[in-house]
Structure 1
Amino acid sequence: MCGRFALDDHVNSSITDFVTSTGRHHNEWSSDWQGRWNIKPTQDIVLIRDSEKDDEIRVETARWSLVPPWSETLTPRFPTFNARSEGIATKATWKKPLKANRCIIPASGYYEWTGEKGAKQPWWIHPEQGILGFAGLYSWWQDRSRPDDDPNRWVLTATILTMPTVDELASIHDRNPLTLPEDLWEHWMDRSIVGDQKLVDEAVRAGRDESSALLFHKVSPFKAGDDSIALTEPLNSL
């Protein structure tokens, strides 16, 4: 699973470089993301997606926890910040956004924990350089309690796909986020491709190599409200 991750402010230039490399039109990304080191579900994250209306790449903030359009509230009764890749095309919550609403969720790295409750050891898992691109799904949720002309009536929400862990990370957790190489980001987002289990399985195979190359080390335990780059420092260096 992936229940905490980080996104530093280098994402601004990384996203600009990626979008520019596609040669496609894109929305005006404000490039003002402030680095955060302890992002949790329901908080804002950044996502990259194809526009529903034209051949444009869009970079936007979204609420981390996908809310299906048919949900009566912004907080479903079950967790939706992660989506298991296995059998995803048959699940009611995921099968519709899988068809066309796929996105990339950038991250600097993420955390997992080992050990027993009350004495859990956090680990920082990250690439040697650059940013990660998690395979994600997104959905628009309509707050019908707001007027039609209220800009907050529509809420963009998203989830991160997970996959069975790779051998290199198995001692930390039995699952890890589905991380795609940058040369597959556009393919994953492409709305002209109807998303199905085959597409997800292909992504998982590509994600295994990406996850196998990640670095990891122990970090000091931290609280839910902590937010500093110090959270990622190796335990033995503090």
Structure 2
Amino acid sequence: MCGRYNLIDDPFTQGLLDELGISLRIQTRYNLAPTEQVPVIRQVEEKNILQDMRWWLIPHWAQIPDTRYSMFNAKAETLATSKAFSGPLKHQRCIIPASSFIEWRTEEGHKQPYSIQPIDGVFAFAGLWDQWGHGRETILSCTLVTTAAAPGMEQIHPRQPVMLPPDLWARWLDPVIDGHRLMPLLSPSLPCAVQVVPIDPVINNSRHKQAPLLIGPALFQLDAN
């Protein structure tokens, strides 16, 4: 799963936006958590746009928005059969940019948070979006697609976000393509080298919105695979 991430306004993030034809800047945001508004890239009328969405998908058919079910992550393995996700998979896909994400590992009886961050790069997480309601009550929401951990990443957590390499961004965003044809893109992989660094547990509080404080050297690094 992935329940927290950071997004930094830096040349890597700007490069992602430039590559997708978006002439905007992203505001730096730390410790983004489910149900918060997060920046999402989707395609509308053949143009990629950047807009905030609620990070916790609300299916368009839901009677009311609620959080009874964990809808901020969507397992790649069951997207095609999920009542909530199979519809968005077809034509409502998005990219969620991230500069790093946070996972926890139990060590000596407590959960130690780690920042998983690309070395000289930015993550483009595969996501899905949906629209609930009408008029003033309209809510755009998204979910982050996860898959099994790539080799080496299981040291931290058995699952990870689906990370799209640049050559697949356009295909994933294209709503003309039926997403069922893109399922092979959701296999475990690391499109860029990453490092895993321990950070101060103060980040455990989702109200803490400061930059993660590194408390030691990288636990390990992994090359792209």
Q: Normalising to structure 2: TM-score of the pair?
A: 0.88
Establish whether residue 224 from structure 1 lines up as the match of residue 206 from structure 2. Answer: yes
Report 1:118-197 matches (<5 A): 119-142=110-133, 148=135, 150=136, 153-196=137-180
- Name the CA shift for 1:164/1:236 in 2 (closer, same or farther; >3 Å): closer
- After superposition, the C-alpha distances for 1:89-127 in whole angstroms (9 at most, x for unaligned) are 011000000000001000001000010696110010010
SS in 1 for 2:155: coil
The aligned counterpart of 2:30 is 37
| Alignment partner of 2:190 out of 173, 189, 209 | 209
8 Å Cα contact 2:130-2:140 kept in structure 1: yes
Query: Which has the larger displacement, 74-83 or 157-166?
Result: 74-83
Change (3 A) 1:34 1:120: same
Note if contact 2:39-2:50 (Cα within 8 Å) is conserved in structure 1: yes
Aligned to 2:182: 199
Question: What do the CA deviations read for 1:177-232 (whole angstroms, capped 9, x no partner)?
Answer: 00011221111111111111x512x2123x51327x32111111112211112x15
Q: Distance in 2 between matches of 1:226 and 1:185?
A: 31
Q: Which runs of 5+ in 1 are unaligned?
A: 21-25
Q: Which runs of 5+ in 2 are unaligned?
A: 219-225
Query: 1:164 and 1:7, CA in 2 relative to 1: closer, same or farther beyond 3 A?
Result: same
Amino acid in the other structure paired with 1:44: Q
Structure 2 letter corresponding to 1:218:
P
Whole-angstrom distance in 2 between the partners of 1:88 and 1:81: 13
Give the match for residue 14 of structure 1. 15
Rounded Cα–Cα distance in structure 1 between residues aligned with 2:165 and 2:6: 18
2:86 to 84, 95, 109: 95
Counterpart for residue 5 of structure 1: 5
Give the structure 1 partner of residue 223 of structure 2: none
Of residues 35, 50, 66, the one that matches 1:59 is 50
Distance (Å, rounded) in 1 between the aligned partners of 2:108 and 2:179? 38
Relative to the length of structure 1, the TM-score reads 0.83
Q: 1:12 to 1:175 in 2, by over 3 A?
A: closer
- CA deviations on 1:118-137 (whole Å, 9 max, x unpaired) are 61100100100221000000
Alignment CA distance shift 1:60-1:114 (3 Å):
same
1:9, distance to aligned residue in structure 2 (A): 2.0
Distance 1:49 1:161 in 2: 15
Count residues in correspondence: 215
